[in-house]
Each structure stands twice: as structure tokens, then as C-alpha cells.
Chains A and B, each alone.
Chain A
Amino acid sequence: LAKTTQPISMDSYEGQEVNITCSHNNIATNDYITWYQQFPSQGPRFIIQGYKTKVTNEVASLFIPADRKSSTLSLPRVSLSDTAVYYCLVGDENSGNTPLVFGKGTRLSVIA
């Protein structure tokens, strides 16, 4: 699985847009990019997944440039409840038995 690199931590004020960038220079052709959110003492929760360009759902947007060596998770108008650790993972869509391997993640703190 391709290794990912993210900022260790970020701070933001409520109501602002937060962009978290992940580097994955060794991403393979079949790899997808997936982001998870984890609150303290809870299991990770799926946020969004993409392969290229832009993906948007009710929670976030994911921007992936043409070379796919990085991706940016965008959280619009964050609130205090968005304080969590965000993980970027890269892996093969069709690898059923391949586990998700977590990097260090980005600890987002939203301030009132």
C-alpha cells in the first residue's frame, strides 16, 4: 500500500473552511484515496473516497490533481463537533482481503 503523509495537526475557528492535504507519491494505478474520521474512543468513520478530479458528498469534498500524488480533503464551515483525527488512506479498490493501514493522521482542533 502506498505510504501517505499528512500534517500532524491543524487548528481552525468555527465556520471556516478547512483543507487537509495528504501526499501519496507512490500511488498505484488501481489505488483509490479514502478519508476516515475518528473521534476519541470511537472507531473510524468513512468520510469520502475518490480516484481522480473532485468528489463531493454531504460531508466533505475531495480534490485530486491529475498526477494523483496528493489529495485534499475540504471540510466546509467546520464546527466544534468536527474536532477529530482525520486519516488519509490509499489502496486498491479490488483488494478484498487487503486491510486498511492507517498513518498518523491529522488532528484537527476547531476553536470557538
Chain B
Amino acid sequence: GAVVSQHPSRVICKSGTSVKIECRSLDFQATTMFWYRQFPKQSLMLMATSNEGSKATYEQGVEKDKFLINHASLTLSTLTVTSAHPEDSSFYICSARGTGSFHEQYFGPGTRLTVT
């Protein structure tokens, strides 16, 4: 099956710094990528949808100036958490969809962000 990778898998940063998370589709071209955030014992919460070459669409309540998303190529999307605070500590998961059907959405392994 299709593979989506994320890097890094874990990151610890100091409050006020920025962190970049990469999401790559390894063996297919992803026209659309999605970013989710998951707090402990909770479900995945959609943050934004990004299409290659265009601006991301953010869900209500997600600050687009704080969570910068770039989808510059068909295989790479990045999420940058700017001026991170401890409340941004979470598990960030990306998913990628190719040109196939609804269920052909593949998830990355996630990135654990801890802001100290």
C-alpha cells in the first residue's frame, strides 16, 4: 500500500521557538494533504486541508498565522508551528490522498511535539 512518512517522529522545543514537521508521500503523488492534531485520549481533530500549489484551508478555530502549512510539491507538505507554547504540545498527524477514491487516504505515523 501507499506510504506516508513524517519527520521528525518526536521533537522537543522551547517555548517561543518554531518547529517544522514534514509529511511526505513516498510512492504516490498527493494532490491533497490533511493535517490533524490529537490530544491524549481524544480523537483526531482536523486542522487544515492543503492542495499542492495553493493556500491551505484551515478549520474554524485554527490560527493560520500560527500553524503555517506549505504544500509546495505533490509529495511534500510541511506544517510549521510558530512561536510554540506548551498548549501546542500534541500529536500531529498528516494524511495524503492521491487521485483515487474516498478511502484512499493514507496516514503518516505522527509527530509527537512537546513544548517546554
Contact = CB atoms under 8 A, between A and B. Distances in A.
Interface in A21-54: 32, 34, 38, 41-46, 49
B59 to A, nearest CB: 9
B91 A100 contact: no
Contact of B103 (A41, A46, A101, A103): A46
A97 B107 contact: no
A99 B93 contact: no
* Interface majority SS (helix, strand, loop, mixed), chain B: strand
Interface stretch (A11-19, A69-77, A87-95): A87-95
Contact of A41 (B32, B46, B95, B110): B110
A98 interface: yes
Contacts of A96: 31-32, 97, 99, 102
Interface of A: 32, 34, 38, 41-46, 49, 87, 91-105
11 contacts: A41-B112, A43-B107, A43-B108, A44-B107, A46-B103, A46-B106, A93-B101, A97-B49, A99-B34, A99-B49, A100-B95
